[in-house]
Structure 1
Amino acid sequence: MIVTVVLGLAAAALLGLGWVAQQHVAYTEPLGEMLHVRLLFDLARKPVWLAGIAAMVGGQVLGALALRRADVASVEPLLATNLIFALAAAALFYQERLGPTEWLGAVLVSGGVAAFLVAGRPEGGGIPASGSTVWIAVLIVAGVAAGMVAVALRSSLQTKAMLLAAAAGALYGLQDALTRGSLLTLAQGPAALFTSWEPYLLPVIAATGILLNQSAFDAAPLRISLPATTATEPIVGIVLGVAMFDERLRVDPPALAGEVGGLMALVVGIVILGRSPFLAKSEQGQQAPRDRT
């Protein structure tokens, strides 16, 4: 369990650093490039953005190693602490000190993760007996993400950013669950992995999630766009871990109270940290060649 925690927190640290670097660059891109593949091509020419992507990929690799050792429900709350690391990175980058509000958010996020893990004690899980269960889960998550994008297209800029970020978080949660499934299949041998469909769907889910995330970063500062991703990913990942892989959480009343309380603290802490002025610093001093109202 200790190794899983270390891997999960290291993954979260790299993800947080990657988000700060990506948003710092993406926010300068024209609004007309949102949800267009050319946004990714333009960003790919920026060294800072590429460094952010490299950090994110490193975080995902460490997250995959954690998922190989533990259940989705154990790893997802750890990955949710990436916003703490993003906050710390932004504070160091802009040479600002963390205030009481930021520390409160950090305590709520960390305490929420600890409360959920201690109360729920997630365990078990294996390859689903029925492939239809996995497909139903994939279609539901994809449908919810598509619905959020459809609403975002008719919304104000800040609402658009939050909805696109939430849609990206839902796909990232699905990506984590499919990664877990691929690793469980790999345990049966390389042939079993290559003949399953999960590894081939993963790149599509990942690329779509990145496009939605960068579009959200393009639309609004990190304090508006990142919390929705950070809150949605673990919730979707945990639900899919239970639904797809039969991962078990304790369900007695004290455990349920601790699990619900932990998740509530996690979400509230993410919202508090997301409103931190440090996460808005990346929009200051940048050229904004278009109207954002």
Structure 2
Amino acid sequence: MIATVLLALAAAGLVGVGFVAQQHAAYTEPLGAMLRLTLLLDLIRQPLWLGGLATMIGGQILGALALQDADVARVEPLLATSLIFALGVAAFLYKERLGRTEWLGALLVSGGVAVFLVSARPEGGGVPGPASVVWVAVLAVPAVAAVLVLVALRMGLSAKAMLLAGAAGTLYGLQDVLTRGSLLILSHGPEALFTSWQPYLIPAIATAGILLNQSAFDAAPLRVSLPATTAAEPISGIVLGVAILGEHLRVRPESLAGEVTGLIALVGGIVILGRSPFLSKSERGRDERPDARCR
């Protein structure tokens, strides 16, 4: 259990650092590149973005190792602490001390994670049959993400960034569930994994999530674009872990109260951290950006 927690926290740290680097690079891209593969093709040529991507992938690998021995509902809340690490990196880069607001947000996030895990005690779960009706939930997530994108296209930049980031978070949650499912399938042997469809869907979901996330980073600074992803991923992952993998959470009244309280504290802390001035430092130079006049 301790090893799983340490792996998940290390994964969150790498993902948080990777997000900071990616946003600094993506925010310099023209607004017209949003939601287009040309955005990723342009970013690939930037060393800062590539470094951020490599760091994020390293975090995802550590997250997969954590998921190998633990339920999605146990790992996902820990991954949400990536925003705390992102804030710490931003404070280090700008050589400023964290204030009471940042410490309050960090306390709510970490406390919310602890309360949820202690109350829910996630356990059990397995991979349903390949033709099981529960896999319909896999189709539901991209549909929700598509709706968020369609709504985002009609909104201003800040709202657009939040909706695109939320869509990315829901896909990341699905990616985590598919990763956990693939690891469970692998326990039955490599042949079982290669003949299953789940692992082949992961790269497509990951690519779509990255495109949506970078588009959100292109549209707005971290304080707007990152919290929605950080909040949506654990909620999506927990719901899908229960719905698809059959993971069990405690349902006694006192347990449910603790779970809801923990999630509310987690999301509230994410919102507070998102309002930190450290995460708005990336707005520097916005007037020199391509299409800046359109903001």
C-alpha change, 1:102 and 1:55, in structure 2 (3 Å) is same
Distance 1:133 1:234 in 2: 23
Secondary structure of the residue aligned to 1:245 is: coil
Residue 253 of structure 1 aligns with which residue?
Answer: 253
Distance 1:224 1:153 in 2: 16
2:23, 2:214 within 8 Å by CA — same for their partners in 1?
A: yes
Residue 264 of structure 1 aligns with which residue?
Answer: 264
Q: Which moved more, 1:283-292 or 1:66-75?
A: 283-292
Pair 1:206 & 2:213 matched = no
Q: TM-score when scaled to structure 2?
A: 0.98
1:157, 1:292 within 8 Å by CA — same for their partners in 2?
A: no
Matches within 5 A, 1:87-236: 87-129=87-129, 131-236=131-236
Q: CA deviation digits over 1:3-24, x for unaligned, max 9?
A: 1100000000000000000000
Secondary structure of the residue aligned to 2:244 is: helix
2:135, 2:244 within 8 Å by CA — same for their partners in 1?
A: no
Q: TM-score when scaled to structure 1?
A: 0.98
Q: CA deviation digits over 1:200-243, x for unaligned, max 9?
A: 11000000000000000000000000000000000000000001
What are structure 1's unaligned runs of at least 5 residues? none
Distance 2:135 2:116 in 1: 28
2:31, 2:290 within 8 Å by CA — same for their partners in 1?
A: no
Distance 1:274 1:89 in 2: 14
Q: Which moved more, 1:152-161 or 1:277-286?
A: 277-286
Distance 1:127 1:168 in 2: 24
Q: CA deviation digits over 1:91-141, x for unaligned, max 9?
A: 101111100000000000000000000000000111114633343111111
Q: Match for 2:29: what amino acid? A: E
Pair 1:46 & 2:51 matched = no
Distance 1:163 1:135 in 2: 25
Distance 2:89 2:131 in 1: 41
Deviation at 1:161, TM superposition (A): 0.4
Residue 290 of structure 2 aligns with which residue?
Answer: 289
The alignment's C-alpha RMSD in Å is: 0.9
Q: CA deviation digits over 1:155-185, x for unaligned, max 9?
A: 1111110000000000000000000000000
Deviation at 1:289, TM superposition (A): 2.4
1:168, 1:213 within 8 Å by CA — same for their partners in 2?
A: yes
Q: Match for 1:169: what amino acid? A: G
Distance 1:17 1:130 in 2: 36
Q: Match for 2:277: what amino acid? A: P
What are structure 2's unaligned runs of at least 5 residues? none
Secondary structure of the residue aligned to 2:132 is: helix
C-alpha change, 1:135 and 1:246, in structure 2 (3 Å) is closer
2:111, 2:262 within 8 Å by CA — same for their partners in 1?
A: yes
